[in-house]
Amino acid sequence: MRLNLRSVVRAEAFVLFIVVLLGATALSLVSSQFLQTFNIYVLLYNVALSTLVAFGQMVVVATGGMNISLGAIGGLSAVVAAMLMEWHGWPLWLIIPVVLLGGTLMGFINGFLTVKTGISAFVITLAMASAYTGASMAITNANPIYGIYESVRSLGQARIGVFPWPAVATMVVMAGLATWFHRMTSGRQVLALGGNRTAAELTGVPIGRRVIQAHVISGLIASIAGFLTMARVQAGAPTIGNAWLLPGFAAIVIGGVLLEGGKITIVGVLLGVAILELIANALAISHTDPFFVTLLQGALVLVAVILGQARRRMMAKGRVRPLGALPSTEPRAE
C-beta of 178 vs 252, nearer to another protein: 252
Least distance from C-beta 305 to another protein, angstroms?
A: 5
Kindly provide the b/e burial profile for residues 134-144, where b requires at least 16 CB atoms within 10 angstroms of the residue's own CB.
ebbbebbeeeb
Q: Which of residues 7-26 bind another protein (CB under 8 A)?
A: none
Nearest by Cα to 267 from 310, 190, 326, 185? 326
Q: One symbol per residue from 99 to 128: x for binding another protein (CB under 8 A), - otherwise; what is it? A: --------------x--xxxxx-xxx-xxx
Least distance from C-beta 41 to another protein, angstroms?
A: 7
- Tell me the chain's radius of gyration from C-alpha atoms: 20
Least distance from C-beta 212 to another protein, angstroms?
A: 14
How far, in Å, CA of 309 to CA of 314, rounded? 9
Half-sphere CA count of 260, side-chain side, radius 13 A: 4
Give yes or no for residue 203 binding another protein (CB under 8 A).
Answer: no
One residue of 143, 151, 179, 203 binding another protein per CB under 8 A: 143
One residue of 2, 93, 204, 294 binding another protein per CB under 8 A: 294
Give yes or no for residue 295 binding another protein (CB under 8 A).
Answer: yes
Least distance from C-beta 239 to another protein, angstroms?
A: 4
Angle, vertex CA 44, rays to CA 244 and CA 167, nearest 5: 80
C-beta of 186 vs 234, nearer to another protein: 234
Give yes or no for residue 239 binding another protein (CB under 8 A).
Answer: yes
How far, in Å, CA of 38 to CA of 40, rounded? 5
| Helix pair 207-233, 70-83: axis angle to 10 deg | 50
Give yes or no for residue 256 binding another protein (CB under 8 A).
Answer: no
Least distance from C-beta 151 to another protein, angstroms?
A: 15
H-type alpha helices, the chain: 2-10, 12-30, 37-61, 70-83, 92-117, 121-140, 150-157, 167-183, 185-195, 197-202, 207-233, 245-255, 266-285, 290-316
Give yes or no for residue 198 binding another protein (CB under 8 A).
Answer: no
How many residues make contact with another protein (CB under 8 A)? Answer: 79
C-beta of 91 vs 298, nearer to another protein: 298
C-beta of 21 vs 243, nearer to another protein: 243
One residue of 51, 114, 218, 229 binding another protein per CB under 8 A: 229
C-beta of 8 vs 258, nearer to another protein: 258
One residue of 21, 309, 321, 333 binding another protein per CB under 8 A: 309
Least distance from C-beta 156 to another protein, angstroms?
A: 8
Kindly provide the b/e burial profile for residues 194-226, where b requires at least 16 CB atoms within 10 angstroms of the residue's own CB.
bbebeebeeeebebeebbbbbbbbbbbbbbbbb
How far, in Å, CA of 116 to CA of 211, rounded? 11
Chain-centre distance for alpha carbon 235: 21
C-beta of 4 vs 37, nearer to another protein: 37
